[in-house]
Chain A
Amino acid sequence: KAGVTQTPRYLIKTRGQQVTLSCSPISGHRSVSWYQQTPGQGLQFLFEYFSETQRNKGNFPGRFSGRQFSNSRSEMNVSTLELGDSALYLCASSLVASKETQYFGPGTRLLVL
């Protein structure tokens, strides 16, 4: 099976812009979770989607949002970018629940200037 894919792999934006990141889960996986990874804060949970519904949400401001489509593909959006949003954004998929084994994508590295 193909692994989790994320696009784009690298992105440079300026403050105030918005960005959309995409994640395609492993075929058959219905749960998709998003994480932000930074050197200072480590890996932080953003949200989890299952069957097109947000099932869990981390402690991030409302500028961070996401959605999931009927084919389980997911997108996350960050509006009004801030310098502190520069990070590696990881997507992970699992069969049904995030407490199962999660399979991670390679990440999208976002740089905000």
Chain B
Amino acid sequence: AQRVTQPEKLLSVFKGAPVELKCNYSYSGSPELFWYVQYSRQRLQLLLRHISRESIKGFTADLNKGETSFHLKKPFAQEEDSAMYYCALVRQGGKLIFGQGTELSVKP
């Protein structure tokens, strides 16, 4: 079965520290993977997608098919990065499957 796993419910780091939010997936085909973010009192919004290979707000994510992972990384966390982060996978046919989410808390 297709599944997205985010093992950490809460990740707490200090400002300026590196951050890595883990995402593992199980999918037999070629997945399309996304990171969505929800800041406090805001709507869920796309942060980045693996096919774009871009860096948004200093975040990057690399698809590792061997490890079936799509971890989100940022070298220096900022307080404004505090939010809920969701990893998501699109199956062929278009069904979007979300992980349980990781709450990132960046302390001053």
CB-based contact B94/A56 at 8 Å: yes
The total of chain A residues at the interface (CB under 8 A) is 24
Output the least CB separation between A45 and chain B (Å): 6
Contact status A42-B46, CB under 8 Å: no
Query: Is the CB–CB distance between B96 and A104 below 8 Å?
Result: no
Asked if A45 meets B44 with Cβ closer than 8 Å, knowing A98-B90, A99-B90, A101-B49, the reply is: no
Which one of B44, B90, B95, B101 contacts A104 once the chains associate, using CB atoms below 8 Å? B44
A56 to B94, CA, bound (A): 7
Distance in Å from the Cβ of B102 to the closest Cβ of chain A?
11
Assess whether A102 is interfacial by the CB under 8 Å rule: yes
What 18 additional pairs, Cβ within 8 angstroms, besides A97-B94, A99-B96? A3-B43, A4-B43, A33-B96, A42-B98, A42-B101, A45-B95, A45-B97, A45-B98, A48-B94, A48-B95, A56-B95, A58-B95, A99-B32, A99-B90, A102-B46, A102-B96, A103-B45, A104-B43
Q: Complex formed: what's the CA distance from A106 to B49 in Å?
A: 22
Q: Which of A42, A97, A103, A107 contacts B100 (CB 8 A)?
A: A42
Tell me which residues across on chain A come within 8 A of B98, comparing CB atoms.
Answer: 35, 42-45
A105-B49 contact given A58-B95, A99-B96, CB 8 Å threshold: no
Whole-angstrom CA separation of A90 from B96 in the bound complex: 13
Residues of B within 8 A of A4 (CB): 43
